Amino acid sequence: MYRAPAAVRPRRAFCGRTPYAGRMIGDRDDQAVHPTRTAALFLRQFVQSPRTVGAVMPSSAALARAMLAPIDFASARTIVEFGPGTGAFTREISARLTPECRYLGIELNPEFVRKLAGGFPRLSFVHGSAADLAQMLAAQDIDSVDAIVCGLPWATLPISLQETVFAGIDRALVPGGVFVTFGYLQSLILPAAWALRRLLRRSFAEVGRSPVVWGNVPPAFAYICRKRM
């Protein structure tokens, strides 16, 4: 079994109690094993914090594949995920991660952090906001990031927070680095989606879109962005 080098394993990443602490049995595909439990947790958190969770159910594996397609996992040395939730994208990232690549997941919801830390014991998670990316990278001795996988609920985030997040992304990503996020097809015509597209075009040299993932509920697509070299 792959064991991450000490530098990759969580240091001050997660300090809460977890029922799974110490179970180094490789990443548990919890959503596959307990899809109903995972969906119920997600829905519960949505009911408690609809604006920060931003969706009633986790993304599909098909959307995760569309999100990760542009990332070169063979050469990546650091990957950051914003808003991993119950791990829909994390699971696919974990399956592709090389031993040389560090992963840091930044999640605002403490229940999700607890689940992630138990489900993916080889990966590092911090409880906090993507807006504090610079401080979180510094605390982990990470200078730069090759790719950022983002599950943030853009439609419900205040514009000032969105701008702070994009400023942090710009500082952290290496030249040519990849940023992927997703949008729901049904929301494309809403002002929040226009605002996001404007921010993406302002922040990146290239902004593209994956084909629509019709199997996701609701149908969604990935925005694929690249920082200028």
Rounded Cα distance, 220 and 207, in Å: 16
Rounded Cα distance, 209 and 213, in Å: 11
Rounded Cα distance, 36 and 77, in Å: 34
Which of 70, 153, 174, 212 touches ligand SAM by CB under 6 A?
A: 153
Dig out the tokens for 60 from the structure.
């599909």
Task: Identify the helix (H) or strand (E) that includes residue 223.
Answer: strand 220-226
**Strand order across the 220-226 sheet:** 124-127, 102-107, 78-82, 145-150, 173-184, 220-226, 206-209
CB of 109 to ligand SAM, least distance (A): 4
x/- letters, 87..126, toward ligand SAM (CB under 6 A): -xx----------------xxxx--x--------------
Closer to ligand SAM by CB, 121 or 151: give it. 151
x/- letters, 161..180, toward ligand SAM (CB under 6 A): --------------------
Which of 14, 82, 103, 221 touches ligand SAM by CB under 6 A?
A: 82
| Count of residues interacting with ligand SAM (CB under 6 A) | 23
x/- letters, 129..148, toward ligand SAM (CB under 6 A): xxx-----------------
CB of 61 to ligand SAM, least distance (A): 10
Given the DSSP bridges, would you call strands 102-107 and 124-127 parallel, antiparallel or unpaired? parallel
Amino acid at 190: L
Task: Identify the helix (H) or strand (E) that includes residue 96.
Answer: helix 88-96
Residues 11-50 that bind ligand SAM (CB under 6 A): none
Binding site for ligand SAM (CB under 6 A): 52-55, 58-59, 82-85, 88-89, 106-109, 112, 129-131, 151-153
